[in-house]
Chain A
Amino acid sequence: MNISNQQQNESALAARTEQKPAQYATPAADVESAKEGYTIHAEMPGVDKSGLEVTVDNGELTILGHRGAEGFSGEPVYREIRRNDFRLVFELDPTIDTARITARVDQGVLTLTLPKAESVKPRKITVE
């Protein structure tokens, strides 16, 4: 298994950079692997296309989801929903072709497709 979740010290990081959300929530995520590559599904309710940042840097895939400012009307009576932005970091399998990573978001679920490079796919070599 080459994709692993990096548990970083999120709050220390945020404190250092003095960004406004003090903590990120880790979205619930599924990772599937297949011959062709990997698929990640991450749940980020309240995040639309414009609130998503997916970056690949130095073999690390970072997913950031900023929740839009939802207009809540009235005073809160009961609250369970956490308003934190989402953050998820993976170390990428080096066989992934980072140029062909695709992302889409549908009703708060981000789907990332990470195809493996053609050169590493298993293939049969014909004996001449």
Chain B
Amino acid sequence: MNIVRYQRYPHSDLSVALGQLTNMRQELDRVFESPFGSLLRPLGSLNRWNPAVDVYQDKDQFTVYAEIPGLKKEEIEISFHGDTLTIGGERKREGNTEDGFRSERFFGKFQRSLTLPLPVNRDQVNATYKDGILKVVLPKAEEAKPKQITVSLN
């Protein structure tokens, strides 16, 4: 099992908890049907920050979304090793929180990696960061795009 993501949302309500189980079931179903299923894995132990990630695709591109609120643009690192896209960074604590009596947010380093099932055009990867959501657009390489072949009659 390598897709477990640590959830820290506190829910005391039973119906919410049950709803989450249903979500988890759906999530698992989706993962096992997905080509990414075996490919996405949070690194390291579970008690660190593993931001939630979504992947979408159409015929031209993959779009990866990551929820990483409260960072500065410069604190986000995006890199490629082979076919593996890695999103990482570090969120620094601001101010003094010594006397905080509720502390649920993660600070420190995070990293998520995912291997893309098709080659992408690395030179045209484009990333934007808005409202705490990172969006990375990865155009598929020409050879990876579906081709339509017209039948000609002669």
Contacts and interface: CB of A to CB of B under 8 A. Distances in A.
Interface stretch (A22-30, A94-102, A114-122): A22-30
A17 interface: no
Interface residues of B, number: 53
A48 B54 contact: no
Contacts of A26: 9-11
A10 B53 contact: no
A74 B100 contact: no
A53 to B, nearest CB: 16
Contact of B54 (A9, A34, A68, A79): A79
Contacts of B103: 30-31
B92 to A, nearest CB: 13
A95 to B, nearest CB: 15
A46 B57 CA distance: 20
Contact of A43 (B95, B101, B105): B105
B16 interface: yes
Interface stretch (B65-73, B80-88, B119-127, B144-152): B65-73
Nearest to A32: B100
Contact of B105 (A23, A30, A46, A107): A30
A44 B19 CA distance: 20
A36 to B, nearest CB: 12
Interface string B32-59: 0011110010000000000011111110
Contacts of B10: 26
Nearest to A105: B131
Interface in A82-128: 82, 106-109
B117 to A, nearest CB: 9
B35 A77 contact: yes
B52 A81 contact: yes
Interface of A: 1, 3, 5, 7, 9-12, 23, 25-26, 28-34, 39, 41, 43-48, 68, 70, 72-82, 106-109
5 contacts: A3-B101, A29-B104, A45-B131, A48-B131, A74-B63
Given A74-B63, A108-B69, A109-B70, 9 more contacts: A28-B104, A32-B100, A41-B105, A45-B68, A45-B133, A46-B133, A79-B27, A107-B130, A108-B131
